[in-house]
Amino acid sequence: MITITVNKEEIKIPENSSIIHLLKQLELVSQGIAVAINESIVTKSAWATTELSAKDEVLIIKATQGG
């Protein structure tokens, strides 16, 4: 297990986890969100192949509707 920070909260995930694995662990749907790792946006097409490392800082932003 490794420790990463997601939206300023430390969590543990299995080693070699991708962004897709993280989203499944957090029970988040992939539609309407953006993901950044260490202040760099990761394109949705790269989520399955981008592995997270210990101490990574992940920011997940959810789109909301409103006016």
Note the pTM of the prediction, 2 decimals: 0.88
Measured between its terminal Cα atoms, the distance across the chain in Å is 42
Give residue 63's pLDDT band: very low, low, confident or very high (50, 70, 90): confident
Give residue 13's pLDDT band: very low, low, confident or very high (50, 70, 90): very high
Closest-CA residue to 60 (of 27, 23, 25, 14) = 23
Q: What is the pLDDT of residues 25-57, one digit of tens each?
A: 999 988 899 999 999 999 999 999 999 999 999
Is 67 contained in some domain? no
Print the domain residue range for 58.
Answer: 2-62
CATH of the domain at 18: 3.10.20.30
Is 12 contained in some domain? yes
Can you tell me the distance from the alpha carbon of 48 to that of 63, in angstroms, rounded to the nearest whole number? 21
Instruction: Give the count of domains, the chain.
Output: 1
